[in-house]
Structure 1
């Protein structure tokens, strides 16, 4: 590891992609490479337990926030047990079927405390979390996408509404937008970005978890003007529906289309997944003024998942300047 001072990191995303990134960054908190870690989480989910709670109580969808908290939990028996409780999903056939304990706990604390961030901080303390979890906005968001290929005219665009609906579309996504377009950003998220040394964007569902952070004006402005260096982490494979047919360079292009002033410092990709596309990707990355880092970050079982220890090593290598 580097002998430089410990780094402050802000990671953006949602769902399983952010969970993977935070699981890796948490290891760097343990070995003191990172001394301050903040997750800024997408709040646009409209499916499953989160969607039901959002619809019934008018709250932020808690699911992605819950997963981020679980990823940051400590390693002792207390922390791991509470993390398992947080992630427990009810079975059965009644009204509770499919609800997740952590989602209910988060909503309960929101009602009791009346403060989104304070409630999440309380749960973080319960879990021994090695970082802080914040929502990207303080109001629930709706994702819309302009999608081609759904009508007889393959070039005609159709507006698809909702995170779940966008994620599973069979068409080709041209662009996304958020409703409301200019929501109130979590002020603590802006403070964390201002104080950061590094920012991490991706991996994850590109159009429904990653790019939404660039669609909120105040959040995008904070990201693009920050002195922190930005790491873009590419997915290990295309995602059925959402990014079907998009190569690694196409993923980068989609970011720039939605935020033309975005200036990544490093693009991290798995060497095995890129394969023969490495030279072309390196040229694309260089065209954005960034540096391509290829590393072995995929799980050894062959599934398209980032391995936390390998991803942590790649992050440490980048942050050390090696």
Structure 2
């Protein structure tokens, strides 16, 4: 009898801990790709979604109006999968990339601005400035490559000693943040290549982000080492209070005012944090494809809307928004 009671008690405790961990506050859901997506990026306010699939190619959605704005088709003639993308801070331009080429798109005119190839490395991540001509690439050969597409100027940032996993670019294209397997994230000047701040971690850095006004930076390592940095001093503000062991982040974004940070993981988790103390104040699960085994999804991108709602897009081909009230 005691063993039976103990078993029931343990089951109940587990149910309480796991069942109440996530908030059920979904406002709306969009099924943007029936067969899932290879990549999805959101505008900073969560209104627009750029969805890449192997069947439909690249499609731009207006989530607010719930309609397709543009169908760009495949990025290249070989129909290679888009693995990373980024919409500029002003929502006017986007960059998409396969492992070895990248394209720039004018979202306002729904047209391509060109396709460029990288011959000596594999692209890991990309970013684009508001002018649509300055781009930043994270490469597996240890380089972060800044390119001005107007005049062809290239700046190879060589401070990393191993694969660069993630990059972020200021809206005006002047400042870059890069993180890599060498346990470092660097804030640097794209005009001179000079390091402004160096942020040390205890393991490989897999995600970085810049707050749009240049107040804060974020870098996350593979061992729950997610740190918010003050860009006026270069000092650590706080560390995210991550409770799961070895949680990896697949996406991250600051709120416009810098008070909050939203993150996504390769295992469906979407979470909201305070930037002043690293406190977790919201948790949600991204939807999975019907019948998917295993029942999981990579959260490709996250955003915080002007009303404070959390938006996420995943490999399951869904975009979702949740209330934080």
TM category (shorter chain) comes to 0.3 to 0.5
Whichever structure has more strand as a proportion of its residues is 2
| Higher relative contact order structure (alpha carbons within 8 Å, sequence separation ≥ 6) | 1
Whichever structure has more helix as a proportion of its residues is 1
Q: Tell which structure's C-alpha radius of gyration is larger.
A: 2
What TM-score results when the alignment is normalised by the length of structure 1?
Answer: 0.33
What TM-score results when the alignment is normalised by the length of structure 2?
Answer: 0.33
